[in-house]
Amino acid sequence: MRTVLFTAHNRLSILHSGGEYFPALIEAIDAARVEIYLETYIFSLDDVGTVVRDALKRAASRGISVHVITDWLGTGHVRGKMLADDLVSAGVEHHSFNPWFRHGIARTHRKICVVDGTVAFVGGINIISDYRNDDPDHDELIAPRWDFAVRAEGPLVAHVQRIMQLQWLRTGRLGLISRIQRLREGRIRPGRVVENSGMAGFVVRDNLRNRRTIQRSYQRALGLSRHSVYIANPYFAPALRFCRALAHAVERGVDVSILIGVGEFRVQDAVAQSFYRRLLSKGIRLYEYRKTQLHAKVAVIDDDWATIGSSNVDGISLFINQEANVVVRDAAFARDLRTSIEAAIAESVEIRLEDFASRPWYKRWLYDAVFVVYRGLMRIVTLGDYT
């Protein structure tokens, strides 16, 4: 069964990090004529965040209907309230996603903007400076964060806008009956694929009608891979099915390379490293990106299938949080993204099985312990879905 509804004739642009993303985003906001929807995990009030905020306020002053959703945890309670008060006073509508964990532990980790139903932005880039770490302290980075987004025009935008409109309603004050009706509308149903250029699909993950859509899109592409797989991800801790899909690809002769971001959180590094021995022993090539913060969630398979979005390859993104990816079936787009990944790999450190095996015994023991604990916790919080 297909997991992605593809549409053709989309015009797609890869935006590399905030240096390309924020000028394009602000240009679209300033050109808005009717409405804007923006959703983000982090909305910082640094020099970049204030520029985006001011653009949203300018749009509202022109009579544009502006809707902003920020995550209560990711943006922060205090910072989020300051932002909300500022936006609302300027005529911008604002919703905070799941404040005080009232609806469970899930967060909105999505980074989406739709303007006038004609242009959409989807990716992994938060509203924060490229030179600020996205941890709570926002420490300064020595080089710009490595991240990506997609700017899209064409039929794909209608799907993005529909999901954003539903998200806006869900995060508002709806009665129980209305909320249930909106939830039923939230599934993006697979359809017939028309082979053509600019083919793209919008894939979301939630805890209702789209619980496994992003993972299944990955697994289907991996299952059909013939030549190469490139994955870049900062928080890499895949479930068993995902690991098996990678291993089976290698068994078929596919070259599988995974670029992992390290150095942001020690605990997260330990979780990722707890998977290294298992992945390396299957013939998967692993690289650590240490130049700056790697925040991109991207992949290219066979120069035919590519994805850019907010979803990490870990239990939290694939089984708990709300996420959004664009999946593209376009050779030129895939080649451009692969070139960027290969350039980052060239600046990275390859991790080999023999090097990993030579690490002190207590570190290897720690990795195994972390693996068991992480897997157990994920199975508990996902009610057994983490498989």
302 assigned to active site: yes
Taking residue 133's Cβ as centre, other Cβ atoms within 10 Å add up to: 18
Q: Identify the three-state secondary structure at position 167.
A: helix
Q: Is 109 a catalytic residue?
A: yes
Exactly one of 67, 95, 297, 330 is catalytic; name it: 297
The residue annotated as part of the active site, out of 109, 130, 159, 314, is 109
Tokens at 133, concatenated: 């770490």
* H or E element that contains 30: helix 17-30
Rounded Cα gap, residues 369 and 366, in angstroms: 5
262's torsion region: left (phi>0), alpha (psi -120 to 50) or beta? beta
Q: Reply yes or no on whether 385 is catalytic.
A: no
In the set 71, 147, 206, 302, the catalytic residue is 302
Question: Is residue 111 annotated as part of the catalytic site, yes or no?
Answer: yes
* Catalytic option among 54, 86, 116, 303: 116
Return the closest-CA partner of residue 255 out of 293, 284, 213.
284
Annotated catalytic residue: which of 94, 111, 134, 159?
111
Other beta carbons within 10 angstroms of residue 368's beta carbon come to 12
295 counts as catalytic: yes
Annotated catalytic residue within 94, 295, 304, 330: 295
DSSP secondary structure string, 348-365? SEEE-HHHHHTS-HHHHH
Q: Could you count the other beta carbons within 10 Å of the beta carbon of residue 36?
A: 22
Q: Which of 23, 42, 172 is nearest to 94 (CA)?
A: 172
Known catalytic residues are: 109, 111, 116, 295, 297, 302
